[in-house]
Structure 1
Amino acid sequence: MPLLQYSMQLVELRDYVKWAGWKIHKEFIDEGYTGKNTSRPAFKEMMDLARQRKFDVLLVWKLDRLSRSLKDLINTLDGLGSLRVDFISYNNELNTSTS
């Protein structure tokens, strides 16, 4: 994905965070990787920090930015839920904090 598209996505997500009154702990970007599997460096770091309770909301641009595998997506969302980390997919209108 071109750098400009990443930049535009980040601007919108940062605006959403500001609107919600949250603080960004870390931005996870797996540049050069697809959401095809969970063996990506930033994905692994994100899950490690979630286990350490370093953040309580994970905001992504779209579901496929987190995972393109339905099985991996379900497992990740289940894992985040068990860690009490809410999940929001900005463009898919998915928000586990309201369910």
Structure 2
Amino acid sequence: MASNRCMNTSCPAPTSLHWTKGWPLGSAGFANLCLNCGSAYENLVFCDTYHSEEAGWRDCSFCGKRIHCGCIVSKSMFECLDYGGIGCTGCVKRSRLGVVRLVSELANF
């Protein structure tokens, strides 16, 4: 990767021998992360590890999981719901499948 510095400003060890690709950047490309930060990102615990005291945490309206809204790192982990609140992507996907099944069952009724 181009940069030899971890893009996580909270990283205690900003240099690394191994690099991983992180979240998509607004300016194109992907964040350059050291092995530890990249592992936290890949395991979906980056915000829990590095941003737990920051503002912007909300709960999934379905499962209650805490999600760091307004953070570029967790941008792809939730959707805003039509009726307010947020849902983690897994819960939103399951709820849409349930609606599709219900509509299909009603059509066959």
TM above 0.5, yes or no, is no
**Which structure dedicates a bigger proportion of its chain to strand?**
2
Scaled by the length of structure 1, what TM-score is found?
0.25
Larger RCO (CA within 8 A; separation ≥ 6): 1
Scaled by the length of structure 2, what TM-score is found?
0.24
**Which structure dedicates a bigger proportion of its chain to helix?**
1
**Which is greater in Rg?**
2
